């Protein structure tokens, strides 16, 4: 039950306040202190939704009580009660953090309104605080999922770039071989940006047949082609206010590239079969494992689209080019796998790590994760170089 503290040296007044307010506010518990010092001792031990305090009191005045409480429990809401002579002091109390003051003789209606408003404000602040902390916890969880492990200079440079580009709305092209972490970079950019409040919509351009990509990206209206049985929104519209991640952009047909180019130039999309144009506010992040310069030279990728997409280019190097990241990645994956299985994480001894560093990782980090999982299941604890020799065929 939430509590209200009444601080008043005149027992007759505290008694009246108590009986009026306890009748109005049946959901609250009341406590009475006879002076500021007694109140401070109570406040040090317990939390109150509201303190209603007289200003002029022996031992510790209401003003001093307010100041002391703001030091230890700044979230406490105060309503001050002032005599005629101390109106100026009451106004100063507002500057020191009190919510309101009521002058004597007390007008009952004014008292009840002020107390109810003060309680509402306190509860709103509490809700706001708990929503903020819930939001922060969620963000931390998301950020953890897309955490980029490693301390090689290459990875540190990528992390630094992510931090910088996340603060902007610039389009980003992420390049690098399969399994190197391009998708992770895209998620990290979104998660660290202001747009993280909005959606992150992923499109795997290689997985969508070229005749369907336009409808997938921009939506369609009912009847615009066989199979369009109802209106459907496209991925650009779904990503409004957030980020669209165009994965494997190098595999998109030239026809689809032309349409994406138009959407990027105009920040508008037209659903298939409609002449309506929809304005969208979307940040575009694209990724490819192809060498787009070569694709352009071969006439397979539009140069104008390349320039639109690659305002910032982040290259994620192959794991073989940053083997220094292997020890931390192994430890990270071993811990993740143990968490998934509800076991304690297995250790890898130095020789096992050295053996893993000897390999060539053509499947990059994805392949390393699979190998760690195999070794965690099949190997001893700690996982040894013999385990690596026995269970990893490369």
Q: Which stretches of the chain bind ligand ATP, using CB under 6 A? A: 148-150, 176, 178-184, 289, 329, 332, 365-366, 369
- Judged by beta carbon, residue 100 or residue 251, the one nearer ligand ATP is 251
Nearest to 186 by CA among 309, 292, 328: 309
Residue located via tokens 């980029």: 148
Angle, helices 108-145/11-24, rounded to nearest 10 degrees:
60
Shorter beta-carbon distance to ligand ATP: residue 101 or 361: 361
Compute the distance between CA of residue 165 and CA of residue 171 in angstroms, rounded to an integer: 9
Q: How far is the CB of 332 from ligand ATP (least distance, A)?
A: 6
179 versus 271: smaller Cβ distance to ligand ATP: 179
> Is residue 53 within 8 Å of 81, Cβ to Cβ?
yes
Shortest distance (Å) from residue 77 CB to ligand ATP: 46
Measured CA to CA, the distance from residue 147 to residue 141 in angstroms comes to 10
148-172 burial code (b ≥16 CB/10 A, e <16): bbbebebbeebbebbeebbeeeebb
Q: Which is nearer to ligand ATP, 257 or 289 (CB)?
A: 289
Query: Dihedral through CA 306, CA 308, CA 312, CA 314, nearest 10?
Result: -30
Q: Given the complex with ligand ATP, which of 79 and 162 has the nearer CB atom?
A: 162
Smallest separation, CB 175 to ligand ATP (Å): 9
Identify whether the C-beta of residue 82 lies closer than 8 Å to the C-beta of residue 102.
yes
Q: Indicate the residue whose CB is closest to ligand ATP.
A: 181
Q: How far is the CB of 200 from ligand ATP (least distance, A)?
A: 13
End-to-end CA distance of the chain: 65
Smallest separation, CB 334 to ligand ATP (Å): 12
Cβ 149 to ligand ATP shortest distance, Å: 4
For ligand ATP, give the closer residue by CB, 60 or 249. 249
Task: Specify the residue, 120 or 291, whose C-beta has the smaller distance to ligand ATP.
Answer: 291
CB of 184 to ligand ATP, least distance (A): 4
Q: Give the 3-state secondary structure of residue 16.
A: helix
């Amino acid at each position: 039950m939430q509590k209200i503290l009444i601080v008043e040296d005149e027992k007759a007044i505290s008694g009246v306040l108590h009986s009026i307010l306890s009748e109005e506010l049946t959901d609250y518990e009341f406590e009475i202190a006879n002076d500021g010092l007694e109140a401070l001792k109570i406040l040090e031990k317990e939390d109150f939704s509201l303190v209603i305090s007289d200003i002029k009191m022996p031992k510790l005045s209401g003003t001093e009580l307010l100041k002391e409480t703001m030091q230890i429990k700044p979230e406490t809401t105060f309503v001050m009660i002032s005599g005629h002579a101390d109106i100026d002091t009451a106004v100063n109390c507002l500057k020191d953090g009190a919510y309101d003051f009521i002058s004597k003789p007390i007008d009952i209606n004014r008292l009840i309104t002020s107390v109810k408003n003060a309680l509402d404000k306190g509860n709103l602040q509490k809700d706001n605080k708990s929503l903020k902390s819930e939001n922060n916890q969620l963000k931390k969880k998301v950020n953890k999922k897309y955490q980029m492990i490693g301390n090689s200079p290459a990875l540190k440079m990528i992390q630094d770039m992510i931090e910088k580009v996340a603060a902007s709305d610039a389009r980003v092209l992420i390049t690098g071989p399969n399994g190197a972490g391009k998708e992770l970079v895209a998620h990290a950019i979104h998660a660290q940006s202001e747009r993280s409040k909005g959606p992150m919509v992923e499109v795997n351009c290689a997985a969508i047949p070229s005749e369907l990509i336009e409808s997938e990206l921009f939506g369609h209206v009912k009847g615009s082609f066989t199979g369009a049985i109802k209106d459907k929104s496209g991925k650009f519209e779904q990503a409004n206010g957030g980020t669209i991640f165009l994965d494997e952009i190098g595999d998109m047909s030239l026809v689809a590239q032309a349409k994406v180019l138009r959407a990027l130039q105009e920040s508008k999309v037209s659903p298939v079969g409609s002449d309506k144009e929809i304005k969208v506010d979307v940040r575009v992040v694209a990724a490819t494992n192809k060498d787009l310069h070569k694709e352009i030279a071969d006439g397979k990728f539009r140069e104008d689209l390349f320039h639109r997409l690659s305002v910032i280019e982040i290259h994620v190097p192959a794991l073989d080019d940053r083997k220094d990241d292997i020890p931390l990645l192994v430890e990270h994956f071993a811990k993740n796998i143990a968490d998934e299985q509800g076991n304690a994480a297995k250790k890898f001894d130095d020789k096992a790590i050295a053996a893993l560093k000897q390999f060539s990782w053509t499947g990059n980090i994805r392949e390393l994760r699979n190998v760690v999982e195999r070794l965690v299941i099949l190997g001893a604890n700690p996982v040894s170089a013999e385990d690596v020799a026995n269970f990893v065929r490369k």
